[in-house]
Amino acid sequence: MIKDTVIFALTSSVDLANEIAQQLGIPLGNCDVRHFADGEILVQLGESVRGKRVYIVQSTCNPVSSNLMELLIAIDACKRASAAFITAVIPYFGYARQDRKARPRQPITSKLVASLLERAGANRVITMDLHATQIQGFFDIPADDIACLPIIAEYFQNKNLDQIVVVSPDHGGTTRARALAERLHAPLAIIDKRRPRPNVAEAMNIIGDVEGKSVIIIDDIVDTAGTLIAGIDLLYKQGAKEVYACCTHGVLSGPAIERLKNSNIVEFVCTNTIPQAAKKAQCMEFLKKLPQGIHSMAGDAGKMLSGGQRQRISLARAILKDAPIVVLDEATAYADPENEEKMEAAIAELVKGKTLIVIAHKLPAIMNADQICVMDHGNLVATGKHQELIQSCPEYQKLWKAAQDSSEWKVSTAKEGR
């Protein structure tokens, strides 16, 4: 059967198709996709498909219409070349969110796309984590919706996190979040969200307990990341210890990358249903801006959007934004003793002409500091002297109490003129 199988990769899914072909032990089929100056597209098959089972791999992600046309043209080319069976492998099914008439006079575009695929000549469709599973019913040909949840669950199981809570970013994702929670043997929480208009979300409150917990927030699609960031902010306000985020389809359009870089998320995990190399490179640019001593503490740069522990990135951002004094909460940039000297040197170089106080592990005695800026999850929440903050700033009070309970107090100070 394998010898009668041909896999073609179109523009958006070349890397994924290569991985599939390697798993099957067969080479990718030869085809040439050309985009002409006037916007027309030509897909030229480079080998015979007569009597063969053809798989065409193409996510209909951005640019959606162009990628969709490539797929339709490729299906038509295979049909006219006498392929025995044509399967459209669409890891990310574009237009899946237009699955109903939300308002009068609106189209149901996902049904239109299903009809186009059938009319072009597809005999079967394989996709992953459809935004709405009922889209399978739009097809009159077999349509398989493969779940990515087992892969995501295995990834987090291997991290051995303590006190996990799985969070759904809205009521619609509760089934997905519950399935992950069951695999991780963790409780479930739900964010009560309102969406005043498309791509704009406002998180309202949380149903469930997240205080002091490692939170994993899961969604099927992260687009502009507005929903995700609103949820992350709310989770930290409700006392979450750390927040991880995961999704199947990392669309990451518009301001999504900047939002993720500026958030206090520990790690963002997505699959490769949509190619992420360019977006990952944008995230790496932030790490490249960090001084060497801080960059060395920035975690595993190979992980998509991962900046190591959020406290370390909070420190880096504070320095880059010229915050005069930084106080980090509990776990800190000094968590890795091997890099402590590099961090000290980098800080000393950066804070010439400023006043900087960096707290390590637990809050030390800084009662005589000229000024303290309290950073909570990367945000500047208060400034002032110790006596002022201990009376007026809850975040500082919490840190100070932690310091009193700790036997490991360390401080690095560099003051103006020193």
| Residues labelled as active-site residues | 193
Answer yes or no: are the C-beta atoms of 385 and 369 closer than 8 Å.
yes
Residue 123: count of CB within 10 angstroms of its CB: 17
Give the residue among 280, 284, 346 at the shortest CA–CA distance from 318.
346
d(CA 383, CA 399): 14
DSSP codes, 209-271 = --TT-EEEEEEEEESSSHHHHHHHHHHHHTT-SEEEEEEEEE---TTHHHHHHTS--SEEEE-
d(CA 246, CA 215): 11
Q: How far is CA 76 from the centre of its chain?
A: 35
Residue type, position 57, single letter: V
d(CA 26, CA 4): 11
